[in-house]
Amino acid sequence: MSTQTAEAVSVPKPRARERARKRRRQGQSPWIWLAVVAIIIFCLFPFYWLINVSLKTGADLSSSSLVPPHPSLDNYRSIFKNDDFTNGLKNSAIVAFSVTILALAFGSFAAYALARLKLKGKFIILGIVLSVTTFPQIAIAAPLFKLWTDIGLYNTRIGLIIPYLTFALPLAIYILTSFFKEIPKDLEEAALVDGATHFQAFRKVVVPLAAPGLATAGILTFIAAWNEFLLATTLTSSQAARTVPAAIAFFTGSTQFEVPLGTMSAASVVISIPLIVLVLLFQKRIVAGLTAGAVKG
């Protein structure tokens, strides 16, 4: 009887076998691979075209060839000789890193409180916090320009960090709240029993376990601050505080009516590289952070 039972268990059911065959056939279908290739080309072609234009100079810029007729790195050399661009890179790095660090520091405390403390209306509070990210920046650009001019924050890095943080912090809180809810309370209680304080339990137990969520929130915050354009052009007037997206918009050609497509494309490629590297390095943590709380049980 045991032999028959073992054979019955080892032999999959007909329906299970049929489903497995369908999955294998679907995985081997050429149409699926064609669709995947088409999606990849559709997503990557704009960036390839940006690189293509950045390698063109002179009359080649007016051609629509898929491959540069006479590829050159002159555009890349010229942008690194441009003080507006190099200062913009420095300002963008300082502002983006400052916003990311502050958003993670304050956001982790706020998210931990929303995830652990017994507060009435936590869902409403979280909804109000998240609604800030949907508020249009253009609505506050003019009033903020007037306020910053009056109090002396116009054309300063602090004047950019504060509004950037206003829009980045709600997103960080939302992501981290979902992640902190998935961490068992028993681990913190065990640390408290061993003599740790609440802050030590948070710092040494909760934060390391929340690394994927912190990485996700940090990268999304950094990308948002690095790419921001509207406030960067409204709240700055010189290279002293102007970030690199705004600096690219002020590139000029050799004549008044010439559009510097080559240098603008080269600068866009350069400022995209740090973001691509960050995503490739932390892609697993990003996926884990974004899917936190999506599956129960």
77-95 burial, b at 16+ Cβ within 10 Å, e below that, comes to ebbeebebbebbbebbeeb
Residues above pLDDT 90, as percent of the chain: 35
Residue 136 tokens read as 């249009």
pLDDT at residue 291, as a whole number: 61
Residue where the block lists tokens 């320009």: 145
In a domain, residue 158? The reply is yes
Q: Is the pLDDT of residue 8 over 70?
A: no
Both tokens of 89, joined, read 């890179």
Does residue 59 lie in a domain region? no
Give the number of residues written for the chain.
Answer: 297
Give residue 25's pLDDT. 58
Structural domain contains residue 143: yes
Give the model confidence (pLDDT) of 204-248 as tens digits. 888 888 888 888 899 989 999 999 999 999 999 988 899 999 999
| CATH number of the domain encompassing residue 103 | 1.10.3720.10
Per residue in 180-200, is it b (16+ CB within 10 Å) or e — as a string? beebeeeebeebeeeebeeee
Say yes or no to pLDDT of 11 above 70.
no
Residue 60 has pLDDT above 90, yes or no: no
Residue pair 161/102 in contact by the 8 Å Cβ criterion: yes
Q: What is the pLDDT of residue 19?
A: 65
pLDDT band at 131 (very low <50, low <70, confident <90, very high): confident
Mean pLDDT estimate for the chain:
83
CA 125-126-130 angle, to 5 degrees, is 120
Lowest mean pLDDT among 21-25, 88-92, 128-132, 181-185: 21-25
**Whole-number pLDDT of residue 95:** 96
pTM above threshold 0.85: no
Task: Answer whether 50's CB lies under 8 Å from 270's CB.
Answer: no
Question: Is 183 a residue whose pLDDT tops 90?
Answer: no
| Token reading at 172 | 């960080």
Q: Does 9 reside within a domain?
A: no
What CA–CA distance (Å, rounded) separates 270 from 39? 24
Mean pLDDT of 46-63: 87
The answer to whether position 297 is within a domain reads no
Establish if 273 belongs to a structural domain.
yes
More confident residue, 222 or 130: 222
Q: What pLDDT sits at residue 100?
A: 95
* pLDDT given for residue 221 in this prediction: 92
Q: Which residue has the tokens 């409403």?
A: 124
How sure is the predictor about 193, in pLDDT bands with cuts at 50, 70 and 90?
Answer: confident
pLDDT in tens, 259-295: 788 899 999 999 999 888 888 887 776 666 666 554 4
Query: Into how many domains does the chain fold?
Result: 1
Residue 205 resides in a domain = yes
Q: Distance between CA 69 and CA 288 in Å, rounded?
A: 44
Residue 286 belongs to domain spanning = 82-290
In a domain, 23, yes or no: no
Most confident of 2-11, 57-66, 86-95: 86-95
